[in-house]
Amino acid sequence: MTWSRESRRAERYLIEVPLRYRIFGEADWRKGTTANISASGVFFQCEETAERDMRVEINFVLPIRPNHKKGIEVVCRGAIVRSESSTEMGSPSALAAKILKYRLLPWEGPQT
């Protein structure tokens, strides 16, 4: 069977969850929100943009069900493949990152 480039592209899931990310070598985490996620990457809105090919660390939690206290924490390492700067005041920018490595960890929610 021959695969076209389009048929090999990973399916994207429209999932909006908070995430944090940082450029390799930086100590501080930045905040964002996922727009869509696939097996090979994540597209997210953020206030601070990054350059193409920069290496990043990204963490986010996928809840088992909406408003559920348990989920899966996704810990990724990747590279920025696209950056979209907003031209409107107050509108977020967006980044697309290719996932190079990831780990899935059980998440129990915030401890009270």
pLDDT the model gives residue 9: 73
> What are 43-76's pLDDT values in tens digits?
999 988 899 999 999 999 998 877 777 899 999 9
> What are 68-106's pLDDT values in tens digits?
778 999 999 999 999 998 767 667 899 999 999 999 999
The letter for the amino acid at 53 is D
Helix (H) or strand (E) holding 23: strand 18-23
Superfamily in which the 10-107 domain is placed by CATH? predicted glycosyltransferase like domains (2.40.10.220)
pLDDT the model gives residue 109: 74
| CB contact set of 86 (below 8 Å; sequence gap of 6+) | 92, 93, 94
Instruction: State yes or no: pLDDT of 5 exceeds 80.
Output: no
What are the boundaries of each domain within the chain?
A: 10-107
